[in-house]
Structure 1
Amino acid sequence: MKKFYHLGTCTTCQAIIKETGIDKAGFTMQDIKTEKITPAQLDEMKKMAGSYEALFSRRALKYKEMGLKDKQLTEKDFRDLILEEYTFLKRPVAILKDKIFVGNDKKTVQALKEAIK
């Protein structure tokens, strides 16, 4: 499986697509704003990443707006929040066969580039 979950309007995601050439590497691209993540897709990501928390973005504006930083969130909370609001998914998420790459830090992007080669 080659799948890439991103936000079409996110300049960071666009830069990663350009840098890695992921759009030319046969990945199925899913813009999470226009095509919501299904519970089955999220559960598959969780299996690969180890937890819903690993897929959760604390940088989302709604994280502060909803006062979530002051709450103890459970795995169920993380799952429900990601399904409810696409901005809570740490982006981008790339799945290449049995490996998952979550987020945009340099190490993750570099590892993704190496795996695509």
Structure 2
Amino acid sequence: MKKVYYLSSCSTCKRIMDELNLSDFEQQDIKTTAITSDQLEQMKAMSGSYESLFSRKAMKYRSMGLNEMNLDEKDYRKYILEEYTFLKRPVFIVGDDIFIGNSKKVVEALKVLLS
């Protein structure tokens, strides 16, 4: 399976996706097609935790006061399902591998795998 979860209004997601050949990827814009509980469970199983999928850079993280709370795995799961901006993006799934976020290290590892 090859799939990418992204946000179409995110210029960083667009830039990364434009650098790759995604013709054989299923693409899901998380703003128009929300991630399901099952999809999130699959990502968690691959990544090891909900926290690894959670974006602390989302504007709502501070505005909701989440930065002042002690969040646990249950909280991370709840917030990701409630608000799409809390999913760290993009998320690429290639077979049994998952690539989360837009750090250079993650993008380079994905490029190596796809080449």
Please classify the TM superposition score into its range, dividing by the shorter chain length: over 0.9
Question: What is the match of residue 28 of structure 2?
Answer: 30
Q: 1:113 aligns with which of 102, 105, 111?
A: 111
- What is the distance in 2 between the residues matched to 1:20 and 1:108? 13
Question: What is the match of residue 93 of structure 1?
Answer: 91
Is the aligned partner of 1:5 residue 2:5? yes
TM-score by length of 2: 0.98
Q: 1:74 aligns with which of 72, 97, 113?
A: 72
* SS across alignment from 1:100: strand
Shift of 1:20: 1.9
CA contact (8 A) 1:20 1:112 kept: no
Q: 2:49 aligns with which of 30, 44, 51?
A: 51
* SS across alignment from 1:72: coil
Name stretches of at least 5 consecutive residues in structure 2 with no aligned partner: none
Report percent identity of matched pairs: 57
Name stretches of at least 5 consecutive residues in structure 1 with no aligned partner: none
Question: What is the match of residue 17 of structure 2?
Answer: 17
CA RMSD of aligned residues (A): 0.6
